[in-house]
């Protein structure tokens, strides 16, 4: 069994598709990202349906996806894009505690950014997602996942049953991922090498068929390996 992540990090310029129904937002993000030497704006989309079509045609590394768009929601567009390709989706939202954001994360998004993010935050978010990681570290993301997981009620039987596929150590690592800890922080917490943690994380993703750490965190909350605080 491979221990490598399902999606390899991008090696060349990061190609980005910007999907938003507001022209000013698209143009603003295009200018900000286009100024980065390692990022290339591959195209734009004005609604969810066009985002799916353009993602299929252009095969960008990352899609910046507005949640609320005409024709097709950003949630459904995210689900279709992440199901049919290795393209990663970074959701754009106006409010940090937005129920639709949680739905987008469950649909396959690798993280989210607020629309008022600075140029440096926007570029770094794209780089993090393109590298094969998830934009999970910010406290606001942990709070969002915890909040909407708390609303979910009892553990979901399929998620709880699949925990049995993991070893005791992998289950422990999964719970720590859900708390927003990095590999280095998990290694320090468990007093083992960071390289070993990377192997455990990769095995967790492969065994559970998850795309990244965001999906792993949501799985852990739904299986009630961790309890929202």
Tell me: pLDDT of 80 over 50: yes
Tell me: pLDDT of 71 over 90: no
Tell me: pLDDT of 4 over 50: no
DSSP assignment, residue 67?
S
Which H/E stretch holds residue 16?
Answer: strand 14-19
Non-local CB neighbours of 228 within 8 Å, separated by 6+ positions = 146, 147, 149, 150, 221
Taking the whole predicted model, whether its pTM rises above 0.75 is answered as no
Q: Where are the alpha helices (DSSP H) in 71-222?
A: 74-84, 99-107, 119-130, 139-150, 157-162, 168-178, 183-190, 194-208, 213-222
Non-local CB neighbours of 214 within 8 Å, separated by 6+ positions = 105, 109, 110, 111, 134, 135, 136, 141, 145
Q: Which residue segments constitute the domains of the chain, with CATH numbers given?
A: 14-135 (3.40.50.2300), 155-222 (1.10.10.10)
Tokens linked to 144: 């969002």
Per-position DSSP letters for 36-49, written without gaps between them: STTEEEEEEESSHH
pLDDT tens digit string along 133-143? Answer: 666 544 555 56
């Amino acid at each position: 069994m491979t221990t490598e992540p399902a999606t390899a990090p991008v090696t060349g310029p990061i190609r980005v598709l910007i999907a938003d129904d507001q022209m000013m937002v698209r143009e603003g993000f295009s200018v900000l990202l286009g100024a980065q030497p390692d990022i290339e704006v591959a195209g734009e989309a004005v609604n969810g349906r066009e985002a799916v079509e353009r993602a299929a045609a252009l095969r960008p590394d990352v899609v910046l996806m507005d949640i609320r768009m005409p024709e097709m929601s950003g949630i459904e567009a995210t689900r279709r894009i992440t199901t049919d390709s290795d393209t990663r989706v970074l959701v754009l939202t106006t409010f940090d505690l937005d129920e639709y954001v949680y739905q987008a994360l469950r649909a396959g998004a690798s993280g989210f950014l607020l629309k008022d993010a600075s140029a440096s935050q926007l570029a770094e978010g794209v780089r993090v997602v393109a590298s094969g990681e998830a934009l999970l570290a910010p406290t606001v993301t942990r709070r969002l996942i915890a909040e909407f997981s708390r609303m979910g009620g009892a553990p979901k039987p399929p998620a709880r049953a699949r925990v049995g596929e993991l070893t005791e150590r992998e289950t422990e690592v999964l719970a720590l991922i859900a708390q927003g800890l990095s590999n280095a922080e998990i290694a320090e917490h468990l007093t083992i090498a960071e390289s070993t943690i990377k192997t455990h994380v990769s095995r967790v993703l492969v065994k559970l068929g998850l795309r990244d750490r965001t999906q792993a965190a949501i799985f852990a909350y739904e299986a009630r390996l961790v309890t929202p605080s």
